[in-house]
């Protein structure tokens, strides 16, 4: 065994075999202890104390996550509704283009609005009813006057119109979310299907031609036209989309719509040109 002496640079050669009995073990142990090789490892201490959540903290965290999720869902719902409005604006714009093209090809006469309750096979903007079938099968959008112009069933529907809902399935006519203003034929009584539509030039540019039908009332989808007092949809932030004979398409609140409905004078909703008040003769 080699060990350093007290004098620098001098080494003493000591052999374990030269040590007395038991001396070798003591010598090795001494050298190990001197160099700290048998010192006990220091216990590990984290720089941060570890503790668990209290019940109140956990509940607060869950509540915050719930609020954030609700805000996110609301934002997504608003974005989806706004996108649907844009689709409706585009759809009704296409319907008005088809209306104007039809009138220009037919001596300025507007298309039949399908004011028939499904009881006449007179061709209209939306369909030509197949009287051999029962609703909703008797109504096919491909048989309407606008089909050869639009040729796309999506242009007749609001994207938010839930076609699998119970209210939708109660509708007699299930091929369009929109209705034409019955003013085109003067709101004739039931059973009268031969009235000639008015000319496009007889309608004022601000008069309402189409609107989103109130989806909460399945009976209002009995054909392709409506009275103004049958209402506009409120699916878009308590309002719906409307189109005028002048080609403008915009959003209207249901309460504003109702004010025009109860107005006794001729206005943009009650707009039949053959009477002073715009209503039926």
Question: How far apart are alpha carbons 273 and 265 in whole angstroms?
Answer: 12
**pLDDT recorded at residue 65:** 87
Q: Give 109's strand partners.
A: 199
Distance linking the first and last C-alpha atoms of the chain? 129
Give the chain's mean pLDDT. Answer: 86
pLDDT, mean of residues 170-198: 97
Q: Dihedral (C-alpha) 101, 103, 105, 108: value to the nearest 10 degrees? A: -140
Quickly state the pLDDT bin for 75 (edges 50, 70, 90): low
Q: Residue 180's closest CA among 138, 130, 242?
A: 242
Quickly state the pLDDT bin for 77 (edges 50, 70, 90): low
Digit-coded pLDDT (tens) for 14-40: 444 454 555 555 554 555 555 554 454
Q: Half-sphere exposure of residue 184, counting CA atoms within 13 Å on the CB side?
A: 29
Digit-coded pLDDT (tens) for 213-261: 999 999 999 999 999 999 999 999 899 999 999 999 999 999 999 999 9
Digit-coded pLDDT (tens) for 146-165: 999 999 999 999 999 999 99
Structure token digits, residue 140: 């096919």
**pLDDT recorded at residue 9:** 46
Domain ranges of the chain: 85-262
**pLDDT recorded at residue 51:** 60
Cβ 270 vs Cβ 183: under 8 Å = yes
Cα–Cα–Cα angle for 235, 241, 245, rounded to 5 degrees: 160
Cβ 126 vs Cβ 140: under 8 Å = no
Q: How far is CA 20 from CA 11, 76, 130, 144, in A?
A: 21, 89, 123, 120
Q: Residue 224's closest CA among 94, 111, 59, 71?
A: 111
pTM over 0.85? The answer is: no
């Amino acid at each position: 065994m080699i060990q350093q002496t007290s004098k620098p640079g001098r080494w003493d050669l000591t052999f374990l075999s030269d040590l007395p009995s038991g001396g070798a073990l003591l010598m090795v142990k001494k050298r190990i202890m001197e160099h700290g090789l048998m010192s006990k490892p220091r216990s590990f201490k984290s720089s941060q104390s570890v503790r668990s959540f209290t019940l109140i903290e956990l509940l607060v965290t869950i509540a915050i996550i719930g609020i954030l999720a609700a805000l996110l869902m609301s934002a997504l719902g608003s974005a989806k509704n706004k996108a649907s409005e844009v689709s409706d604006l585009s759809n009704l714009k296409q319907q008005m283009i088809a209306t104007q093209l039809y009138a220009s090809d037919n001596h300025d006469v507007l298309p039949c609005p399908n004011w028939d309750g499904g009881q006449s096979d007179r061709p209209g903007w939306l369909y030509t009813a197949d009287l051999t079938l029962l609703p909703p099968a008797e109504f096919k959008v491909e048989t309407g006057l606008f089909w050869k112009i639009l040729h796309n069933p999506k242009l007749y529907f609001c994207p938010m119109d839930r076609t699998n809902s119970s209210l939708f399935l109660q509708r007699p006519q299930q091929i369009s979310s929109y209705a034409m203003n019955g003013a085109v034929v003067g709101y004739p009584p039931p059973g009268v299907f031969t009235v000639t539509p008015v000319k496009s030039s007889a309608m004022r540019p601000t008069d309402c031609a189409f609107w989103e039908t109130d989806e909460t009332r399945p009976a209002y989808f009995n054909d392709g036209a409506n009275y103004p007092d049958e209402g506009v949809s409120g699916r878009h932030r308590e309002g719906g989309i409307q189109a005028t004979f002048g080609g403008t398409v915009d959003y209207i609140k249901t309460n504003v719509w109702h004010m025009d409905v109860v107005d006794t004078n001729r206005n943009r909703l009650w707009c039949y040109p053959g009477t002073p008040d715009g209503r039926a003769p």
